[in-house]
């Protein structure tokens, strides 16, 4: 019994450690002045409204959405069909996708940035395209996981065979039967990928730099100039991540529920 | 046969993407690490391995990554044990919250720690007020400061990886051990921990690799001042005047080799855990 208390202490510490920085940053976004006192001197909406009146923030936000959303869209268009085909028709090659997933984990942004610069910086390719392409590859683990789990939970192969047996063409079986069944898992994977890319800093900063100012680069600039604006950016970022995480967990729950039926 | 060829068309764009944005860049990086102005050389590797500064960067990164991984592992090992007592819906809610914090990394995370422990941070002021000078003079922009930040982003990942491993320990085993007269402590020492050990090793190597490749938080806190491998690579590749892309490539290749070894170790131990559970 005593050991439980010991473990509970660690759990409590974990929660405290994970939440304290978030709460403090959120509070800072609404603090009038917080340099000399332990708690803020007063509360205000000034910083948030200043942030939303700053057109360079709005533009940076737009760029982040465009870049991350574009990469996720490309992954859905080109990577998901490939995973479908390999898992359903060439299962013996699936281990190659798994190997690719591990390799993507093994080469983080800072390494990939060196490669992208060495390969494409001197041949006239717009570097933002190189980053976009690298983003598509870097979310492979989440896209693969999302696709694979939902294919497994709906027994995709049997589902397709049954549809074809009943007279549906391959394309019909795919779009009318399989896609709606795996949609929640796929969508959850896409949102997770989006939220990961939205927080990406290394590749965009090293390869493109401030020529394409995303939210993360905007935040980095504000870090040294205005703490209040920086914390407002983090506040907005956290709210967005919170919404995305909530939707993802709802979708995952739903696709799990569907699998049980 | 034609149908298989038709199917291949769907795989082709994926292969092209992997080739263009993963394999080609990495190949160019390897080639560049061996090239001098006009030919082949081992010079950059020689420079890396004899440069005190770069080796120091590797040492700092390795200790920071290993220590942050071990602390996160220990905390989450106990925390997951405490979590397992809750009902399944509550556990899932806890995991969801932990997933939310896993997005809190990089620049935003660095900023949050500045709010707490920076020069006029909440705790810094609190410690000053209480007159605890040893804590008030704590610098966030040092090794121990970075350690706190690294532990933060290791915790949710560690929790996510350890949870399924705990989940695999079955109640029947505990009951059987208890029937045969084992205490809880004996169960964990003789059965539970040995079964989980490969999984714990695998989790450690994922965490280690995760920290070795991290760049943004350290960059946001210390600019290029604190000597970590990832920071060195960034400075060598992007420095306006002192850019040394070939040297950067050599350091990146060596970091890549470290990462691949860590990932292979984790793959191996995850396979081993699956066999056990």
A109 near B215, Cβ under 8 Å?
Answer: yes
How many other C-beta atoms are found inside a 10 Å radius of the C-beta of residue B257?
A: 11
Q: Is the pLDDT of residue A257 over 70?
A: no
Of the candidate ranges A31-45, A214-228, B30-44, B252-266, the one whose mean pLDDT is the lowest: A31-45
Under the banding of pLDDT at 50, 70 and 90, the label for residue B277 is low
pLDDT (tens digit per residue) in B92-142: 888 888 888 888 889 999 999 998 888 878 888 888 888 887 777 788 888
What pLDDT, on a 0 to 100 scale, did the predictor assign at position A258? 54
Give the pLDDT band of residue A39 (cuts 50, 70, 90): confident
- Closest-CA residue to B251 (of B61, B105, B21, B38): B61
The residue of chain A nearest to residue B7, with distances taken between CA atoms, is A85
Residue A154's φ and ψ, nearest 5 degrees, are -105, 5
- Show me where the domains of chain B are located: 52-276
Instruction: Provide the 8-state DSSP code for A92.
Output: G
CB atoms within 10 A of CB B230: 25
Q: What is the domain count for chain A?
A: 1
CB-closest option in B11, B106, B155 to A216: B106
Contact of A241 with A64, CB cutoff 8 Å = no
* Chain B, window 145-174: residues with a beta carbon less than 8 angstroms from a chain A beta carbon: 151-152, 155-156, 159
A211/A202 Cα distance (integer angstroms): 14
Sign of CA dihedral B239, B242, B245, B251: negative
B213 interfacial to chain A (CB closer than 8 Å)? yes
The confidence band for A4, taking pLDDT boundaries of 50, 70 and 90, is low
Q: What is the mean pLDDT of residues A144-155?
A: 84
Secondary structure letter of residue B139 according to DSSP: -
Select the residue of B111, B215, B245 nearest A202 (Cβ to Cβ): B215
For residue range B78-94, list pLDDT tens digits in order: 999 888 888 888 888 88
Task: Say what the pLDDT of residue A139 is.
Answer: 95
| For range A46-64, the mean pLDDT | 91
Name residue, tokens 């905007």: A218
**Burial of B171 (C-beta count, 10 Å sphere; 0-12/13-18/19+):** exposed
A 181-210 → B contacts, CB under 8 A: 195-196, 199-202, 206, 209
Which of residues 40 through 79 in chain B touch A, CB cutoff 8 A?
A: 75-76, 78-79
Domain that holds residue A183: 70-260
Reference A29, options A206, A226, A243, A244; nearest CA is: A226
Phi, psi of A84 (to 5 degrees): -55, -55
Q: Tell me the two tokens of residue B188.
A: 């964990």
Model confidence at B32: pLDDT above 70: yes
Instruction: Name which of B10, B85, B105 is nearest A82 (Cβ-Cβ).
Output: B10
Mean pLDDT of the region A35-56: 82
* Least reliable range by pLDDT among B122-131, B204-213, B254-263: B122-131
Residues in chain B: 277
Gap between the Cα atoms of B60 and B56, Å rounded: 6
State mean pLDDT over A78-92. 90
C-alpha to C-alpha distance for B140 and A176, rounded to whole angstroms: 55
> A206–B238: do the CB atoms touch at under 8 Å?
yes
- Helices B52-83 and B43-50: angle between axes, nearest 10 degrees: 70
Q: Which residues of B touch A233 (CB under 8 A)?
A: 108
Span of A198-202, B170-174, B200-204 with lowest mean pLDDT: B170-174
Whether residues A227 and B114 touch (CB distance < 8 A) is answered with yes
> Does B25 contact A115 at a Cβ distance shorter than 8 Å?
yes
Band of pLDDT at residue A253, cut at 50, 70 and 90: confident
- Cβ-Cβ contacts under 8 Å for B154 (sequence gap 6 or more): B68, B69, B71, B72, B207, B210, B211
Among A15, A110, A201, the residue to mutate for chain B (most B Cβ within 10 A): A110
Residue A13 forms contact with B (CB below 8 Å): yes
CATH number of domain containing A237: 1.10.3720.10
- What pLDDT shows up at residue B5? 78
Taking contacts as CB-CB distances below 8 angstroms, the residues of chain A near B27 are 115, 119
> Is residue A25 one of the residues assigned to a domain?
no
Q: How far is A137 from chain B (nearest CA, A)?
A: 7
Instruction: Give pLDDT tens digits for B172-193.
Output: 888 888 889 888 888 888 888 8
By C-alpha distance, the chain A residue nearest B253 is A111
Which pLDDT does position A5 carry in this prediction?
A: 76
pLDDT beyond 50 at A261? no
Q: Would you say residue A37 lies in a domain? A: no
- Architecture (CATH level 2) of domain B52-276: Orthogonal Bundle (1.10)
**Which tokens sit at B117?**
């422990």
Task: Decide if A33 is inside a domain.
Answer: no
Q: At what angle do helices B122-130 and B106-117 cross, to 10 degrees?
A: 20
Q: Which of residues 96-135 of A touch B (CB under 8 A)?
A: 100, 102-120, 130, 133-134
Note whether A237 contacts B: Cβ–Cβ < 8 A. yes
Residue A212 located in a structural domain: yes
DSSP for residue B84: T
Q: Rounded to an integer, what is the distance from CA B26 to the centroid of its chain?
A: 21
Residue B157 has pLDDT above 90, yes or no: yes
CA distance A238 to chain B (A): 8
* pLDDT (tens digit per residue) in A87-136: 888 889 999 999 999 899 889 999 999 999 999 998 888 999 999 999 99
Query: Mind telling me how many Å the CA of A73 is from chain B's nearest CA?
Result: 13
pLDDT at A260: 47
Does B241 score more than 80 pLDDT? no
pLDDT tens digits, one per residue of A200-211? 999 999 999 888
- Residue B185 has a CB neighbour count (10 Å cut-off) of 10
Q: Inform me whether the pLDDT recorded for B1 exceeds 50.
A: no
Residue A55 lies in a domain: no
Q: Does B28 touch chain A (CB under 8 A)?
A: yes
* Per-residue pLDDT at A78 exceeds 80: yes
Mean pLDDT of A177-185: 83
What is the number of residues in chain A?
A: 261
Cβ atoms of B165 and B194 closer than 8 Å? no
- The complex scores an ipTM of 0.88
């Amino acid at each position: 019994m005593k050991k439980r208390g010991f473990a509970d202490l660690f759990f409590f510490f974990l929660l405290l450690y994970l939440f304290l920085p978030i709460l403090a940053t959120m509070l800072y976004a609404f603090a009038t002045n917080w340099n000399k006192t332990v708690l803020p001197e007063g509360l205000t909406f000034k910083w948030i409204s200043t942030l939303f009146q700053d057109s360079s923030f709005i533009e940076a936000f737009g760029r982040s959405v465009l870049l991350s959303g574009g990469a996720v869209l490309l992954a859905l268009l080109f990577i998901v069909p490939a995973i479908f085909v390999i898992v359903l028709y060439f299962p013996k090659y699936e281990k190659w996708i798994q190997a690719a997933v591990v390799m993507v984990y093994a080469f983080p942004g800072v390494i990939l940035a060196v490669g992208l610069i060495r390969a494409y910086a001197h041949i006239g390719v717009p570097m933002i395209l190189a980053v976009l392409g690298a983003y598509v590859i870097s979310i492979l683990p989440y896209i693969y996981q999302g696709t694979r789990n939902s294919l497994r939970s709906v027994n995709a192969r049997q589902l397709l065979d049954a549809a074809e047996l009943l007279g549906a063409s391959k394309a019909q079986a795919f779009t009318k039967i399989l896609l709606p069944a795996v949609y929640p898992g796929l969508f959850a994977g896409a949102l997770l990928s989006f939220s990961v890319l939205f927080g990406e800093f290394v590749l965009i900063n090293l390869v493109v730099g401030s020529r394409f100012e995303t939210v993360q680069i905007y935040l980095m600039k504000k870090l040294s100039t205005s703490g209040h604006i920086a914390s407002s950016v983090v506040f907005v970022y956290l709210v967005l991540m919170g919404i995305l995480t909530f939707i993802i967990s709802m979708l995952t729950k739903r696709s799990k529920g569907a699998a049980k039926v | 046969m034609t149908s298989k060829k038709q199917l291949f068309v769907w795989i082709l764009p994926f292969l092209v993407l992997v080739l263009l944005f993963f394999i080609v860049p990495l190949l160019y990086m390897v080639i560049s690490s061996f090239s001098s102005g006009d030919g082949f050389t081992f010079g950059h590797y020689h420079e890396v391995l004899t440069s005190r500064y770069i080796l120091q960067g590797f040492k700092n990164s390795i200790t920071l990554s290993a220590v942050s991984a071990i602390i996160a592992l220990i905390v989450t090992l106990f925390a997951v044990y405490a979590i397992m007592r809750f009902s399944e819906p509550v556990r899932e809610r806890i995991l969801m919250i932990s997933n939310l914090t896993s997005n809190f990394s990089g620049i935003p995370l660095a900023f949050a720690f500045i709010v707490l422990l920076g020069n006029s941070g909440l705790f810094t002021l609190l410690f000053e007020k209480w007159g605890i000078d040893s804590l008030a003079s704590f610098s966030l922009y040092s090794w121990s400061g970075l350690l706190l930040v690294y532990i933060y982003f290791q915790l949710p990942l560690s929790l996510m990886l350890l949870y399924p491993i705990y989940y695999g320990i079955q109640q029947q085993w505990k009951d059987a051990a208890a029937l045969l007269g084992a205490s809880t402590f004996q169960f964990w020492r003789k059965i539970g921990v040995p079964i989980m050990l490969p999984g714990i090793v695998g989790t450690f190597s994922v965490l280690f690799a995760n920290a070795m490749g991290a760049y943004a938080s350290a960059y946001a806190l210390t600019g290029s001042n604190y000597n970590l491998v990832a920071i060195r690579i960034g400075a060598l590749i992007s420095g306006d005047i002192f850019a040394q892309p070939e040297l950067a490539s050599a350091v990146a290749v060596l970091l890549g080799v470290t990462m691949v070894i860590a990932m292979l170790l984790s793959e191996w131990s995850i396979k081993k855990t699956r066999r056990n559970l």
